[in-house]
Amino acid sequence: MENMEIVQERYGLSMERIREIREEEAVASSFADYFRKTSEFLLMVNQVYEELKSGRELTMEECEERNRRLYEDILPENYEHSYGNPAWAVRQLGEEYGQMLSFLYGELRGEIVCAFEDRLEDMVIMQETFIEVYNLFTMAAADGAALPGEGKEDGAETAYLPLPDQVKKVLYWYASDYCEKMEEYRVREALDPSLTFAKDRIMNSDLSDLRYLYRFGEYISDGERKTAAYLNSLPEETVRLMADTYTEGFRKGFEVMRRDLSAKKTVMIRYELGFERMIRMAVENFRNMGLEPVFCRAAVHSVNKLDGRKAGYFSAGPNRQYEYDHRYDSALYLDKAFKDRKTAVTRKAYEKYKNLAVAYAGPAVVETFGQAGFEPVNKKENLSLSEKQERLLREAAGERAGIIQKYIPGDETSFTLIAFPVPAIGSRYEEIFREIIRINTLDYEEYKKMQQSIIDILDQASFVRIRGGEGNDTDLKVSLHPLQDRERETNFENCVADVNIPVGEVFTSPVLAGTEGLLHVKNVYIGDFQFRDLRLRFRDGMVEEYSCGNFPDPEEGKRLVRQVILKNHDTLPMGEFAVGTNTTAYRAAEEFGITEKLPILIAEKMGPHFAVGDTCYSWAEDSPVYNPNGKEMVARDNERSILRKTEPAQAYFNCHTDITIPYKELGDITAVSADGTERPVIQNGRFAVEGAEKLNEPIDFVGKN
């Protein structure tokens, strides 16, 4: 790290220059507003930084007012006239300059969390980049003004602007030059428990005083406040049950997969702000297991972002459309040279922190659901990836995954996932929350037995046929691996409440050859996106055609499917087929009217689901997996993943996206043996397996009400 005195000197000089920029009239008039408003934003962040350094305690009203000022410009009610909105920036500044300067504005907004974390050098880098871009415009304006007769007629002001390539070059080298610092820190903050910014706030704050939420630097909405207040109102034993279920699931993951937890020292906790009371108890539980939690903030620099996906701790955010608009900002600088540089930097960073990597046990994730549905607006002004850049991004993801696998082998770690609702789910929030706690703690032993009875039928099959019910056009054939020894082998994992909470599925990795047909879902949430009339057609296990009904223009729908589900691949294999068994969750979802708001973590247990991308065992296919009855789950590979032995670059897609057909849209699931014998697993949306009859009680309840 650069000498702190030098960093402070650079910071002082950059702030002095930014104060001058706010008052100057040295650029073409159509760009003056952008530079003035951006300077005012940076000065506001500087003021907040000085307040934080002083240690002055703010009242709740002051916390709320400061938080709103920091994020006000990109809130939905102001976004139409924000330079963070590429559409507005292009309208005001022209297409080339507008896209680039909106990108820069988005990067500069990352200064907010840097100010809270006292990452002064990062702030200096961003400010100096802003000044460098501004200087291009002042020099161009000065040169233009020196030419007699120029700039007098309408439209002649273009003579006073730098060449677009000059601006792009500055932004390219900002990303390339500082990639090493940004990526190294990103690797470190995911592994190093000595980075305690978030942990200190969770463990040392008075959680009954909701001002603590404003000390993270994230946008805090009414949702985070209500969540924290509700958790504070719950009895100690209830919150303890939530935390215990979460951490015990992580521990069981190592036990079930026969991996050595004692060899590990750290665990990453990922969650959404508002759950600190539960997270504090989880930290204590993990410490009792010998694991020190690591808290990594969701990425703020485009160099580190994952196409709009969040991984770490975060708030719900000020504006999902803003995040959507900037999800492909890397298009501004992504080329082969940048991709190769970032890969080299990632490799170097993991080598530097290899001792921390060896100690890492995996992520423990708390998801949320219930937010208002988000239907994005596709804007032509947004930066978008070319086909070549999409390929480079896929290559980069594969290279990164390979590096991580080298330093953190997948067969030595585990994970856990659990989900809870947020207040936006509606007026019955507290009832729903209590019901989700009950669902997350359903009887492990009871489900284990019922699911085994389903597996016993499925293990007699050569393939499985899945058909939709009324209004659902699904008609799929899923091929299964041949079993060599039925007494010792199984095709389906009996998934009870360990890494994947709540209980309720049996799953396999299909054989791709012969897996074919149409998957259709009328309404499904995938990540932040609600898909309507989603259709995927498979041939030999690969997605052949796809569409959705989200937009009047079918091509826009195809683009959304390609971006969100296929992760910009031309095609993906069916990496998983599962039968969900959590009919209790289904009943609750129907009773509360929240079926379409449930996260995939719960929704996948409420009907058959199919994942496109890698199998559930990617990077760990050679590690044996056993069901509770002792049988080895042998369907861990498919025709693509097995290529890791001969053509590693062709084996993995580095994504796994689940799509569920809810029971109410389901017709039949039939296990078909090699001799043509058909054994029903589900008929007319009801379980038809002896030993699993109890699963129909919630389905029948929904049918009668």
3-class SS letters over 377-432: CCCCCCCCCCHHHHHHHHHHHHHHHHHHHHHCCHHHCCCEEEEEECHHHCCCHHHH
Q: Is 663 exposed, middle or buried (0-12, 13-18, 19+ CB in 10 A)?
A: buried
- Pair of tokens at residue 132: 């460098």
Q: Which two tokens stand for residue 20?
A: 């001058």
State phi, psi for 643 to the nearest 5 degrees: -65, -10
Q: Give the pLDDT of residue 153.
A: 41
- Residue pair 133/165 in contact (Cβ under 8 Å)? The answer is no
The stretches in the chain having pLDDT less than 70 are 1-2, 144-159, 307-308, 497, 705
Nearest by Cα to 425 from 270, 596, 678, 240: 596
Q: In sequence order, what E strands does 634-675 have? A: 656-660, 666-672
Please give the pLDDT value at position 596: 81
pLDDT of residue 330: 96
pTM for the model = 0.90
**Three-state SS for 493?**
strand
Q: List Cβ<8 Å contacts ≥24 apart for 532-536.
A: 534/561, 534/659, 535/473, 536/561, 536/565, 536/612, 536/659
* Residues 6+ positions from 553 with CB-CB distance below 8 Å: none
Q: Do 669 and 608 contact (CB within 8 A), yes or no?
A: yes
Residues forming beta bridges with residue 678, ordered by sequence position: 672
Q: Longest C-alpha distance within the chain, in Å? A: 92
Distance CA 219, CA 213 (A): 9
Task: Quote the pLDDT of residue 147.
Answer: 45
Q: What digits encode the pLDDT tens for the residues 668-686?
A: 999 999 999 999 999 999 9
C-alpha span between 544 and 472 (Å, rounded): 19
Q: Is 519 helix (H, G, I), strand (E, B) or coil?
A: strand
What does the alpha-carbon distance between residue 558 and residue 626 come to, in Å, rounded to a whole number? 39
What is residue 431's predicted lDDT score, i.e. its pLDDT?
Answer: 97
